[in-house]
Amino acid sequence: MSEQTLRAALKLDVVVIGAGQAGLSAAHHLRKLGLEPEKDFLVVDQAPQPGGAWQYRWPSLTLSTVNRVHDLPGLAFGEFAGGDDSVRASVAVPHYFAAYETHFDLRVLRPTTVKVVCDRGERLRVETDRALFSVRGIINATGTWERPYIPKYPGAATFKGQTLHTRDFRTAGDFVGRHVLIVGGGISAVQLLDQISQVTRTTWVTRTPPRWRDGPFDEDAGRRAVAMVEERVRAGLPPRPVVSVTGLPVTPAIEAMRKRGTLDRQSMFSEITPTGVRWPDGRALDVDVILWCTGFRSALDHLAPLQIWEESGGITMTGRLATQVAKDPRLHLVGYGPSASTIGANRAGAAAARELTTFLNLAE
84/161 same-domain check: no
- pLDDT-flagged residues of the chain (< 70): 1-9, 67, 81-83, 215-222, 241-245, 342-343, 363-364
pLDDT of residue 64: 74
pLDDT of residue 343: 67
pLDDT of residue 204: 98
Q: Which domain holds residue 84?
A: 3-146+296-359
Q: Per the domain annotation, does 219 fall within a domain?
A: no
Domains contained in the chain, number: 2
pLDDT of residue 168: 95
pLDDT of residue 218: 59
What CATH number does residue 306 fall under?
Answer: 3.50.50.60
pLDDT of residue 264: 94
Q: Per the domain annotation, does 139 fall within a domain?
A: yes
pLDDT of residue 220: 66
pLDDT of residue 242: 64
Q: Per the domain annotation, does 40 fall within a domain?
A: yes
User: DSSP string covering 239-257, please?
Assistant: P--THHHH-EE--HHHHHH
160/68 same-domain check: no
Contact 24, 349 (CB under 8 A): yes
The helix/strand/coil state of 299 is: coil
Element (H, E) at 26: helix 21-32
Contact 14, 137 (CB under 8 A): yes
pTM above the 0.95 mark?
no
How far apart are alpha carbons 27 and 332 in whole angstroms? 13
pLDDT of residue 60: 82
List of long-range contacts for 125-128, beta carbons under 8 Å, 24+ apart = 126/15, 126/17, 128/44
pLDDT of residue 340: 79
